[in-house]
Structure 1
Amino acid sequence: MSQPIRMCIICRQRALQESLQRLQIINGELVPFSKSGRSFYICKACMTNNEKKVVKILNNKCKTNHKAMMDFGKTFKETATNG
């Protein structure tokens, strides 16, 4: 049986869905996917190693202000270690 393949929005690498972190932005906050609304996938390597690139891409893709994105580094590290 085949498993779903998804793409990381940062490095654009394809991987199994279970190996990626699914997130979304609600009211300017980065949160785990809440099972409704639009979401995106980020691989664990990008979450821990490419914080500046992640902020830049999320600003572009999500059309969110830069100030809200600056606090996401903490969330990335917490999500990567917990998830």
Structure 2
Amino acid sequence: MCVVCKGRFFQNELFKFACVNGEIQINSKNTRSFYLCKTCIQKDKKDLKKPLSRFSKNSVNLKEILADGKH
């Protein structure tokens, strides 16, 4: 389930993230993770700020994380 829109998707259609030491990372296997759908990742940073505030207090730019990541 996407934590932003609460939509239900197959797991292979979602992007997996985790907050490790205050930073959001892709596909972390050692911590509790959360999932976002492709549509919600494309949203503006201000639209993602509230739903992701429980995971990380830092400003999040998921588009950059995905561009640099291994997903």
Is the pair's TM-score, using the shorter chain for normalization, greater than 0.5? yes
CA distance in 2, matches of 1:26, 1:14: 25
Counterpart for residue 16 of structure 1? 10
CA distance in 1, matches of 2:47, 2:23: 17
Q: Which one has the largest radius of gyration?
A: 1
Segments of 5+ residues of structure 2 without an aligned counterpart are none
Give the alignment's TM-score, normalised by structure 1.
0.70
What count of residue pairs does the alignment treat as equivalent?
Answer: 69
Aligned partner of residue 14 in structure 1, secondary structure: coil
**1:55 partnered with 2:49:** yes
Q: Does the 8 Å CA contact 1:47/1:80 hold for their aligned counterparts?
A: no
Give the alignment's TM-score, normalised by structure 2.
0.80
Per residue, is there more helix in 1 or in 2?
1
Q: Would you identify which runs of 4 or more consecutive aligned residues in structure 1 move more than 6 Å? A: none
Segments of 5+ residues of structure 1 without an aligned counterpart are 1-6
Percentage of matched positions with identical amino acids: 35
- Higher relative CO (CA 8 A, sep ≥ 6), structure 1 or 2? 2
